[in-house]
């Protein structure tokens, strides 16, 4: 049985939906690696170091969750971590096409690594990091979307810019 899973993303910022998947994954797998993407085609609000720090803050309650960064193909990283599972979150049907395409590509590149799609709880299913960033930058309250420590980082970040 494959006991290590990788949950990768930008996590800019990490949301309650992400945290829900982390918590549930940590109950299923012996070890979960939360892999924060260093380089991304997306424009990020937080630096890699800031995203790592927030991820470590909100996952410290889980003994079997490791936070790390990666800067190469996800399947290459998963192999390095001896992971046999990639966790991918699906919020809505609109996520499916992209995630399905990536899962098939990853399967072609690394057939021994499986992709597991997970959906967050319904109360988090509409929340995305990009929406959280936009709401925060426009002065809205994001406390219903992110953990309290992330809310503090968001407030500080948007008041600096």
Print pLDDT tens along the chain (161 aa). Answer: 559 999 999 999 999 999 999 999 999 999 999 999 997 777 899 999 999 999 999 999 999 999 999 999 999 999 999 999 999 999 877 778 889 999 999 999 999 999 999 999 888 888 899 999 999 999 999 999 999 999 999 999 998 86
- pTM score, whole prediction: 0.93
**Cα 38 to Cα 12: distance, rounded to the nearest angstrom:** 11
CATH of the domain at 51: 3.40.50.620
| Domain ranges, residue 53 | 4-160
Element at 152 (helix H, strand E): helix 148-160
Would you give the DSSP letter of residue 43? P
The helix-helix angle for 148-160 and 129-137 (nearest 10°) equals 50
User: Which residues are known to be catalytic?
Assistant: 18, 42, 91, 129
**Cα 22 to Cα 35: distance, rounded to the nearest angstrom:** 11
Cis preceding-peptide flag for 153 (omega within 30 of 0): no
Would you give the DSSP letter of residue 10? -
Question: What is the count of structural domains for the chain?
Answer: 1
């Amino acid at each position: 049985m494959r006991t290590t899973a990788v949950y990768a993303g930008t996590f800019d910022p990490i949301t309650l939906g992400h945290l829900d998947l982390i918590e549930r994954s940590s109950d299923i797998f012996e070890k979960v690696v939360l892999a924060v993407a260093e380089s991304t085609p997306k424009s990020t609000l937080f630096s890699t170091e800031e995203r790592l720090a927030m991820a470590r803050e909100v996952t410290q309650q889980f003994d079997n969750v490791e936070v790390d960064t990666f800067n190469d193909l996800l399947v290459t990283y998963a192999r390095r971590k001896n992971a046999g599972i990639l966790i991918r979150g699906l919020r809505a049907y609109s996520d499916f096409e992209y995630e399905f395409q990536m899962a098939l590509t990853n399967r072609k590149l690394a057939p021994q690594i499986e992709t597991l799609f997970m959906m967050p709880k319904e109360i988090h299913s509409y929340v995305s990091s990009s929406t959280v960033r936009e709401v925060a930058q426009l002065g809205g309250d994001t406390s219903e979307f992110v953990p309290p420590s992330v809310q503090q980082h968001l407030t500080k970040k948007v008041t600096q810019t």
